[in-house]
Amino acid sequence: MGSPLTVALLGGGTVGASVAQLISESADDLTARIGRELKLTGIAVRDASKPRPGVDSKLLTEDAAGLAASGTDIVIEVIGGIEPAKTLIESAIANGSSIVTANKALLAAHGAHLHKLAEEAGVDLYYEAAVAGAIPLLRPLRESLAGDKVTKILGIVNGTTNFILSKMYNDGADYSVVLKEAQDLGYAEADPTADVEGFDSAAKAAILSGLAFHTNVTADDVYREGMTKVTADDIAAAKSLGYVIKLLAIAELTEDDKGVIVRVHPAMIPLTHPLASVRDAFNAVFVEAEAAGQVMFYGRGAGGAPTASSVVGDVVAAARHRITGSVGPAQSIYADLEVR
C-alpha cells in the first residue's frame, strides 16, 4: 500500500481537536478510501500543557512555524484569522505541502494570492469548511456546477445571527435579551461583533461569489450591514405581513452580465420561501443557475464535529491527488467581472 501520507495540524481548538479525533477514529476507513494510511505528525497549539481530551498529547507542539515548514504531505490550518495563518500557509506551500484550511477571513482577504502560490508549487488548496461548516457547498459550486451559469446566490451563512433572529421571531424578545441567551448557550462569542455586524457573513459571501462568478472578490468588496438594529417591533411587523427577517448573504450577476453585486444585510423573506424555514443555528444557501434552476444546500454551519467533517473530506481529496501526482481544480477568475 506504500508509506503513510503525513499530515500536520495547525490549531488545537474545538475544530482542531475534532479533526484530530476524526482522523484517529476513522483511520481504517480513511486508509481504505485513500489507498494509503494517514499519519498525523504533529498538532501546533499555543499551550501544549493544556489538557485536550481525546487528543494524543505526544503530538502537541508550540512550534507552529517548524511544523508548517516540515514538508508533510498535507498541512491543515484551523487557527483562524489572518496572521500567523497566512505566513504559516505560505511556508507550508513553499515546502511542498498541500493545504486544507477552514479560514474564511484569510481566504476572503488573500485567497487569490494563496491560490497563485499553490498553483505555482503544484499543490492543492482546499477550503470546503470555510463556508457553511459541514454543508457540501464549495465543491458543488466549483465542480458540479462548472458547466452551468450561476446567476444568484442567497443564503443564511451565520448560525449565531440566525439563532438570534429565530428566537426573536418565536419569542417576541428584544435583541439584547436573545444575544445574552446565545452567549450563555455558546452560540455567540463574548464579543459577538464578527457575527452580528456581518463580518463573518461578508467573508463567506466573498468566497462564494468568487467561485460562482469566476471573479476575485474580497471581503472589502462586500456591502455589509449587521442585524443589531433589528428590533422586536420590526420582527412583529414582518410577521404580521407574512415575512420573516434573516441576515442574508447575497451575490448576483448584474442584468448586463458584466458585473457582480455582493452584499450582506437583514432582509424580509416571505414565509413561503425555503429559507424562511431555516431556524436556530442552521445554515442554508440557495443557488440559482440557468440550466440547473434553483438548488438549496442545508445543514449545520458550525461546530467542531460538523466542521471537522468538511476538513477531513478535503484531506481525503488532497491525499488522493498526492498519490496520483495530480492536483484539484485551480482558482477560476477568468471572468474578471466588475464588482459594483
Active site residues: 204
Sign of CA dihedral 41, 45, 48, 52: negative
d(CA 166, CA 185): 15
Report CA dihedral (291, 296, 301, 305) to the nearest 10 degrees. Answer: -90
Cβ neighbourhood burial of 208 (10 Å; 0-12, 13-18, 19+): buried
Sequence-distant contacts of 189-193: CB under 8 A, at least 24 apart = 192/160
Which of helix, strand or coil describes residue 241?
Answer: coil
Helix (H) / strand (E) containing 38 = strand 38-44
d(CA 257, CA 340): 12
d(CA 33, CA 105): 31
Please tell me what DSSP assigns to residue 222.
S
Nearest CA to 246 out of 188, 306, 166 is that of 166
Q: What is the CA radius of gyration of the chain?
A: 20
d(CA 144, CA 79): 29
C-alpha to C-alpha distances, 151 to 24, 254, 255, 257, 290, nearest whole angstrom? 41, 9, 10, 9, 7
